[in-house]
Amino acid sequence: MNEKKNGDITDSKDIIVIDRILNKGEKQLFSELIEKYKSLVFNLALRMTKNYSESEELTQEIFVKVYSKLEDYKVRYKFRDWLYAIASNTITDRLRKRKFAFFSIDKPIKTEKKDVYFDFVDIKQTDPEAGLLEKEEKDKILNLVSGLPVNYKAVIVLRYFEKLSYEEIAKISKLSLGTVKTRLHRAQKMLQKKIKLNK
């Protein structure tokens, strides 16, 4: 319940800032939105592109788009979700242009040592050595994931790294709930095949 209240407070603050930018000409306040959400956007880009400099470039491009489209923002939507949609679409378009990739999983992935889940534990809360092994396994899977078709990648990043619900992903991606679940399921099967081929 507290999380919901905190979310409501955050949404209200965002709406007030946006209102002041659009209706009172206080354009400098946009820097507050950048400061608040730049890590979220950059991490999404980095997880999808696996390229640091490109992620920095994409983050700038995304915020330019957000600013230019700010008048289109509807207060009935969470600003964070609206931002995610723009970020996800921008990154996906970039990946399509260079014929890059996508990924998923609710079930474990079989690797040589053990089953690994995409819902990884927080390394900071585990034994450092165990955390390092977990990260190595994760990196191996992400390398395989980078070879999956582009249509799957944003959905997977949003689900397993950004921890969004199926409903939130559907809203952001403008896909039906069934399509979101289908893409996740298909991506899992493709990834399982890649893992077998790379053993």
Domains within the chain, CATH numbers bracketed = 1-100 (1.10.1740.10), 101-199 (1.10.10.10)
Alpha-helical regions (H) of the chain: 2-23, 30-49, 52-68, 79-97, 128-145, 153-156, 166-173, 177-197
The label of the residue with tokens 């979700």 reads: 81
Tens digits of pLDDT across the chain (199 residues):
333 444 555 578 999 999 999 999 999 999 999 999 999 999 999 888 888 899 999 999 999 999 999 999 988 888 999 999 999 999 988 888 765 334 434 444 444 444 444 443 333 344 444 444 455 666 676 677 677 777 787 777 777 767 888 898 888 888 899 999 998 888 778 877 877 776 6
Give the C-alpha separation, 169 to 179, whole Å: 10
Question: pTM of the prediction?
Answer: 0.63
The label of the residue with tokens 């009172």 reads: 24
Report the candidate in 112, 148, 102 with the shortest Cα–Cα distance to residue 133: 112
